[in-house]
């Protein structure tokens, strides 16, 4: 029996690195680059003056990994947290361009 948990999303299978648990005893919530890119597109439409159009797919990947590595386990990852990291990344990128 594999220690990896299989998660279905849009007919694709993702693996979650949970170990030492039976499959029926754990859940894995999956966030992906597509989620971040979708949210960036929504923010572009809502706030076109805020430079969201300058964010690339590479930026979306960086935002996703920062969200994971910096998240607060008492809050988890949600759209507000993703929005925070999108804005942080966007602002840092803007500062670097100066």
State pLDDT tens for residues 14-48. 556 656 666 677 777 889 999 999 999 999 999 99
Q: Domain range holding 12? A: 1-30
Domain shared by 68 and 35, yes or no? yes
Q: Name which of 45, 21, 23, 35 is nearest 81 in CA terms.
A: 35
Task: Check residue 10 and give its pLDDT.
Answer: 46
Domain shared by 24 and 46, yes or no? no
Q: Name which of 43, 48, 47, 46 is nearest 86 in CA terms.
A: 43
Domain shared by 4 and 47, yes or no? no
Which has the higher per-residue pLDDT, 9 or 75? 75
Domain shared by 41 and 83, yes or no? yes
| Euclidean distance between CA atoms 72 and 76, whole angstroms | 6
Q: Note whether 51 and 96 are within 8 A (CB).
A: no
């Amino acid at each position: 029996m594999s220690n990896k948990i299989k998660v279905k999303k849009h007919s694709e299978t993702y693996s979650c690195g949970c170990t030492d648990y039976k499959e029926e005893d754990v859940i894995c919530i999956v966030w992906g680059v597509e989620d971040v890119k979708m949210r960036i597109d929504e923010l572009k439409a809502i706030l076109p003056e805020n430079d969201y159009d300058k964010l690339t797919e590479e930026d979306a990947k960086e935002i996703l990994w920062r969200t994971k590595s910096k998240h607060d386990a008492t809050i988890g990852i949600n759209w507000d947290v993703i929005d925070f990291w999108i804005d942080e990344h966007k602002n840092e990128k803007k500062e670097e361009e100066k």
